[in-house]
Amino acid sequence: MRQEKRPEAGVLYLVATPIGNLGDLGFRAVEVLKMADVIACEDTRHSRPLLDHYGIDRPLMALHEHNEDAISGRLVDRLLLGETVALVSDAGTPLINDPGFPLVRQARDAGIRVSPIPGACALIAALCASGLPSHRFAYEGFPPRKSQARKALFETLKDEPRTLIFYESSHRVEDTLSDLAEILPAARRLVIARELTKRYETLVETRVGNAAAILAADPDMRLGEFVLLIEGAGDRSTADALTSDQLRILKLLLSENSVKTAVRLTAEISGARREQVYQEALRLTKEGNEQTP
């Protein structure tokens, strides 16, 4: 068996950094960064303001997707000589859709201790606040850039019972939501989380069939960094959701009647459960109010 840590070797620390609010860097993370012999980061220009904010003046070394294989070997050599290395990403937890896996793998293969310093992670922050089931979830990273590939991926996931989580950029989020609506049931719950921990932090709960329209109606909703969360196919709430015809009837009745009347008539006409219709009516009314200037 390989020894977990050689007596002479240093420690590789994986330090989570804020995803927006600089105040989210933990006390232990600050102490580790202050004592590190070198801090490996994606972009030194991006990391320097955070370190300056906390008075951390340590040497930086760029480690990104284009050089991490070569740089990882150099860092492991330094670790084997007894130095302490801290790895940070531009934001959030290292290795979660960020560079670092080759370094961790090489360090562990060399018997070097790897120690995580936990902290901010956008997907976990979004999941906790989403209201979607969090006991089981599947993180899928960024969807493919091309529409055809995205749809093919969504097709493989449409029957996934766990909550699905994606990251997406402002440049593709509208197209991604449109592609989702072509593959997944329109009534499936979806949460759009953007700019988490920042000034314009927003979490909007909607349905797969309505999500793209929400972004189209509000230019501000197309800005920032996004986490998309979709409830799993096996959730009871999905099974009990209104059909597209029931939803259409409710929307038509809400446009001309009070919530109470629209709910009663929708239930009588469509046979849907009144409780489910009422919850959907509240959601639609809330969305309408949010979109009204």
List the CATH number of the domain containing 132.
3.30.950.10
Is residue 75 assigned to a domain? yes
Is residue 83 assigned to a domain? yes
Q: How would you label 266-279 residue by residue, b for 16+ Cβ within 10 Å and e otherwise?
A: bbeebebeeebbbb
Domain boundary among 82, 105, 120: 120
Q: Tell whether 108 and 130 lie within a shared domain.
A: no
The answer to whether 163 and 232 have CB atoms below 8 angstroms apart is: yes
Q: Kindly report the pTM of this predicted structure.
A: 0.77
The per-residue pLDDT for 246 is 86
Output the CA–CA distances (angstroms, integers) from residue 24 to 13, 27, 92, 94, 97, in the order listed. 18, 9, 10, 15, 20
Pairing of strands 202-207, 226-230: unpaired
Q: Tell whether 213 and 161 lie within a shared domain.
A: yes
Q: Tell whether 223 and 262 lie within a shared domain.
A: no
The amino acid present at 66, given as its one-letter code, is H
Q: Tell whether 139 and 60 lie within a shared domain.
A: no
Is residue 227 assigned to a domain? yes
Is residue 107 assigned to a domain? yes
Q: At what angle do helices 101-109 and 68-80 cross, to 10 degrees?
A: 40
User: Which domain range does residue 164 map to?
Assistant: 123-237
Domain of 18: which CATH number?
Answer: 3.40.1010.10
The per-residue pLDDT for 206 is 93
Is residue 4 assigned to a domain? no
Q: Tell whether 190 and 261 lie within a shared domain.
A: no
Q: Residues 6 or more apart from 53 whose CB is under 8 A from it?
A: 22
Is residue 172 assigned to a domain? yes
Is residue 248 assigned to a domain? yes
Q: Tell whether 226 and 263 lie within a shared domain.
A: no
The per-residue pLDDT for 1 is 47
Is residue 195 assigned to a domain? yes
Domain boundary among 99, 120, 141: 120
Residues (pLDDT < 50) of the chain are: 1, 5-6, 235-236, 238-239
Domains held by the chain: number: 3
Backbone angles phi, psi at 40, to 5 degrees: -90, 130
Encode pLDDT of 122-160 as tens digits: 999 999 999 999 999 999 999 999 999 999 999 999 999
Long-range pairs for 56-59: beta carbons < 8 A, 24 or more residues apart = 56/30, 58/33, 58/34, 58/86
Domain boundary among 57, 88, 120: 120
The per-residue pLDDT for 120 is 96
